[in-house]
Amino acid sequence: MSTEEIKFSEESLALVKKTIAKYPEGRQKSALLPILHLAQAEFDGWLSVPVMDYVASLLDIQPIEVYEVASFYSMFNLKPVGKCILEVCHTSSCWLRGADDIVDHISNKLNIKVGETTADGMFTLKTVECLGSCGSAPMLMCGSQYHEHLTFEKVDGLIDNLRNENKRTTYLDEVKVENY
Amino acid sequence: MGKKILLEHAEVPGIQGYEVYREKGGYRSVEKALKTMSAEQVVEEVKTSGVRGRGGAGFPAGMKWSFLAKPEGVPRYLVCNADESEPGTFKDRYLMSKIPHLLIEGMITASYALGANTSYIYIRGEYYYLIGILEKAIEEAYANGWLGKNILGTDFSHDLYVHPGAGAYICGEETALLESLEGKRGNPRMKPPFPAVKGLYDCPTVVNNVETIAAVVPIINDGGEAYANIGIGRSTGTKLISASGHIKKPGVYEVEMGLPVEEFIYSDEYCGGILNDKKLKAVVAGGSSVPILPADLILTTANGEPRLMSYESLSDGGFQTGTMLGSGGFIVMDETTNIAKNLYNFTRFYHHESCGQCSPCREGTAWMEKILHKVLAGKGSMEDIDLLWDIQTKIDGNTICPLGEAASWPVASAIRHFRQDFEELVKNPAGLDETRYYYHCNNINPEVA
Ligand SMILES: Cc1cc2nc3c(=O)[nH]c(=O)nc-3n(C[C@H](O)[C@H](O)[C@H](O)COP(=O)(O)O)c2cc1C
Ligand code: FES
């Protein structure tokens, strides 16, 4: 992919403009995180070097300023990932309530290890740190949606659903807030 | 029933929307502040209330506000810390999703007091779905004249924006948060200068937690004194506690400061007792960073007094026999929990989340994780326990930001109170599985490798 082929949709470009306007003049770099989120959602779920260079050009900053930021934050993927990333929280409160078993279950079911993607490019399994859902442990996040009070059955149902929908999930997806 | 002043209306149907929120008395604090009080009077009221920062450090909010520098012609900022990444803490998410207008109202009233015409809510990236909820509330506030130019016909104008993070615990530390808001890596800044003098875009800035800002609403509505009458001693008001782990009823509870810990754990109004009626073994009372305490010391102080939910009571006895209220992330562990295993989990977290600026933290957290992994894999020795102790003493106090302490205290307290759990793993290596606990390696780099 060369840089010329990479361009946000008109809709996203309007959002970029609106985002930059939230910050004082000359401080457009502040918009970097939200725009990287937008880019990751629009360009196949990860940030390639050409995509990062494109974001740098939009914000009128150096590419290195984008690389150093993208590599710092754990929500940004710097390599291709599956359509759906199953991000299982494995921090204490979830661990106390069986997070390791959930990780093992997904790993066995999809036949991938943590950090790997299924051969069909559908799922990536990832472990993540506390997502602020400790009271509903164990839990995982897929796209922007939290899946809480997990059991093996719930996980199986979720994986079936995602496979049937066959859509890329992103952090920017709209979410129906369950009864909290 | 304990007194509720933040979550009083959280369960009212439709309270997420403007109409119902307003019907229940919403935005009165903005009316009262802008129409009948000077900015200084609002600050005074917050001082009188005695409310202390709810993000973890417990610094008096009114005092922090009064430190804000006010050079001529320089903008001032209020930034709300909604990064909420301290393991065991989920109260801010609860508050923002249940009753978003309370935070918006608090932001407007607080911004008036500080003379901030622009303010930001920095929210962790994983809460992306909440941004939609907050932005809808903000839109409604604009539409009804609570935000924008010349609010209520006064000369106070205010714009409010939400800014997403992207997965980094360290961005909850206020100066790392400001770096991140400027579009940079979340490396904490050296202090001084403090944000009150040089914060966002080098301008005077106040950073406050979601719950602290929400508390401004009842403080202005009912007066600082009324707020100070709730609670106990210097722990005024109520506190949102996030309860998780081995309890029957995990969730967010608003408790009046001074509630006995025993009542909180065992009464049906709160946690409802230990899951499966097992015995209580340990509690981490204020988020993963605070010292872990064994059952006897969390229920009563070393002097035999009942331990209370308050800053002073929880820290009674110092780090020898006490802990801290912290963020109010209350993690309960039953008798089956091996505390050394739980500590491995915490240590892995701090290693993953260290920003890497300071060598003692970057290297020390890695060593602590490796040593604990070795112990968990059945290959530990007694010397490893002493080595762990030694490493934590060398991180504590030697880093730019308190993440170093946050990583050290759990190690020190776990060894202090639960050395037998480490020894048990060292002595009985059979059954320990080397692969089982080594999940983090893919997460060191943000790419999914
Ligand atoms: C490593 C680290 C993480 C922190 N995370 C948070 C957080 O997620 N939310 C928060 O409000 N404060 C957090 N804090 C505390 C902030 O630095 C700051 O003290 C707080 O936002 C001030 O607000 P308050 O006075 O209203 O509590 C953290 C501090 C450290 C050292
Ligand atoms: S520990 Fe899993 S969400 Fe907090």
Q: Where in chain B is the domain with CATH 3.40.50.11540?
A: 18-229
Please tell me which residue of chain A has the smallest CA distance to B99: A180
Instruction: Give me the torsion for CA of B337, B338, B340, B341, rounded to 10°.
Output: -70
Amino acid symbol at B155: D
Specify the pLDDT at position A3.
Answer: 52
Q: Provide, as residue numbers in chain B, all residues whose Cβ is less than 8 Å from the Cβ of A31.
A: 183
Amino acid symbol at B388: L
- Conformational region of residue B378, where left means phi above 0, alpha means psi within -120 to 50, and beta covers everything else: left
- Residue numbers of A between 109 and 138 with CB closer than 8 Å to B: 114-115, 117, 124, 126-137
Among A58, A73, A93, A178, pick the best mutation site for testing chain B contact (most B Cβ within 10 A).
Answer: A93
pLDDT at B437 over 70: no
- Average of pLDDT values for B261-279? 98
Dist. CA B323–CA B303, nearest whole Å: 15
Dist. CA A165–CA A161, nearest whole Å: 6
Cβ atoms of B246 and B278 closer than 8 Å: yes
Q: Provide, as residue numbers in chain A, all residues whose Cβ is less than 8 Å from the Cβ of B352.
A: 74, 129
CB pair distance less than 8 Å for A126 and B166: no
Q: Work out which ligand 1 atom sits closest to the CA atom of B54.
A: 27
Q: What is the pLDDT of residues B195-254, one digit of tens each?
A: 999 999 999 999 999 999 999 999 999 999 999 999 999 999 999 999 999 999 999 999
Q: What is the residue-averaged pLDDT of chain B?
A: 95
Smallest Cα–Cα separation from B55: which of B271, B352, B289? Answer: B289
CB atoms < 10 A from the CB of A176, how many? 6
Two structure tokens written together for B53: 């920062």
- Average of pLDDT values for B106-112? 98
Superfamily the domain B18-229 falls into: NADH-ubiquinone oxidoreductase 51kDa subunit (3.40.50.11540)
pLDDT band at B433 (very low <50, low <70, confident <90, very high): low
CB pair distance less than 8 Å for A76 and B446: yes
Q: Sort A173 into a burial class: Cβ within 10 Å, 0-12 / 13-18 / 19+.
A: middle
- For B96-178, strand residue ranges (E) read 118-123, 159-164
Q: Which domains does chain A have, with CATH numbers?
A: 3-72 (1.10.10), 84-165 (3.40.30.10)
Q: Can you tell me whether residue B254 is helix, strand or coil? A: strand
Q: What is the pLDDT of residues B154-193, one digit of tens each?
A: 999 999 999 999 999 999 999 999 999 999 999 999 999 9
Dist. CA B376–CA A1, nearest whole Å: 45
| Cα three-residue angle B124-B125-B130, rounded to 5 degrees | 80
- String of b and e for B336-354 (b: at least 16 CB within 10 Å)? ebbbbbbbbbbbbbbbbbb
Specify the pLDDT at position B1.
Answer: 54
- Give the end-to-end CA distance of chain A in Å, rounded to a whole number: 42
CATH T-level assignment (fold) for domain B234-334: Ubiquitin-like (UB roll) (3.10.20)
pLDDT at B22 over 60: yes
Q: Work out which ligand 2 atom sits closest to the CA atom of A136.
A: 3
H/E run at residue A141: strand A140-142
Two structure tokens written together for B247: 């309890």
**Ligand 2 centroid, distance to B236 Cα (angstroms):** 28
Q: Cα B402 vs. chain centroid, distance in angstroms?
A: 13
- Average of pLDDT values for A72-91? 96
pLDDT at B449 over 80: no
Share of residues in chain A with pLDDT > 90 (%): 92
Specify the pLDDT at position B211.
Answer: 98
pLDDT at B2 over 80: no
Q: What is the pLDDT of residues B194-209, one digit of tens each?
A: 999 999 999 999 999 9
- Residue given tokens 């002073």 in the structure block: B312
CB pair distance less than 8 Å for B439 and A127: yes
- CA distances to A61, A98, B63, B137, B294 from B240, rounded to whole Å, are 41, 25, 22, 22, 23
CA-only gyration radius of chain B, Å: 22
Question: Looking at CA atoms only, how far is residue B218 from chain A in angstroms?
Answer: 24
Q: Where in chain B is the domain with CATH 1.20.1440.230?
A: 339-441
- Average of pLDDT values for B386-403? 97
Q: Where in chain B is the domain with CATH 3.10.20.600?
A: 234-334
- For B321-435, strand residue ranges (E) read 329-334
pLDDT band at A2 (very low <50, low <70, confident <90, very high): low
Q: Give yes or no for B276 touching A (CB within 8 A).
A: no
pLDDT at B147 over 70: yes
Q: Provide, as residue numbers in chain B, all residues whose Cβ is less than 8 Å from the Cβ of A40.
A: none
Cβ atoms of B278 and B334 closer than 8 Å: yes
HEC per residue, B184-242: CCCCCCCCCCCCCCCCHHHCCEEEEEHHHHHHHHHHHHHCHHHHHCCEECCEECEEEEE
- String of b and e for A52-86 (b: at least 16 CB within 10 Å)? bbbbbebbebeeebbbebbbbbbbbbbeebbbbbb
Q: What is the pLDDT of residues A8-67, one digit of tens each?
A: 999 999 999 999 999 999 999 999 999 999 999 999 999 999 999 999 999 999 999 999
**Ligand 2 centroid, distance to A90 Cα (angstroms):** 7
pLDDT at B444 over 80: no
CB atoms < 10 A from the CB of A11, how many? 9
The HSE-up count of residue B38 (CA atoms within 13 Å, CB side) is 3
pLDDT band at B436 (very low <50, low <70, confident <90, very high): low
CB pair distance less than 8 Å for B90 and A32: no
Q: Can you tell me whether residue B104 is helix, strand or coil? A: helix
> CATH: 3.40.1190.20, 1.20.950.20, 1.20.1440.230, 1.10.10.60. Which one for B339-441?
1.20.1440.230
Dist. CA B188–CA A72, nearest whole Å: 13
Q: What is the pLDDT of residues A95-112, one digit of tens each?
A: 999 999 999 999 999 999
Among the bound ligands, the one closest to the CA of B189: 1
Q: What is the residue-averaged pLDDT of chain A?
A: 94
- For B210-360, strand residue ranges (E) read 231-232, 235-236, 238-245, 251-256, 280-284, 292-294, 329-334
Specify the pLDDT at position A4.
Answer: 60
Specify the pLDDT at position B446.
Answer: 41
**ipTM score of the complex?**
0.96
Among the bound ligands, the one closest to the CA of B87: 2
Q: What is the DSSP letter of B106?
A: H
- Average of pLDDT values for B376-381? 90
Dist. CA B248–CA B276, nearest whole Å: 8
Specify the pLDDT at position B377.
Answer: 85
Question: Looking at CA atoms only, how far is residue A71 from chain B in angstroms?
Answer: 6
Q: Does residue B63 line the site of ligand 1, with CB under 6 A?
A: no
pLDDT at B445 over 50: no
- Average of pLDDT values for B111-135? 97
Dist. CA A53–CA A33, nearest whole Å: 14
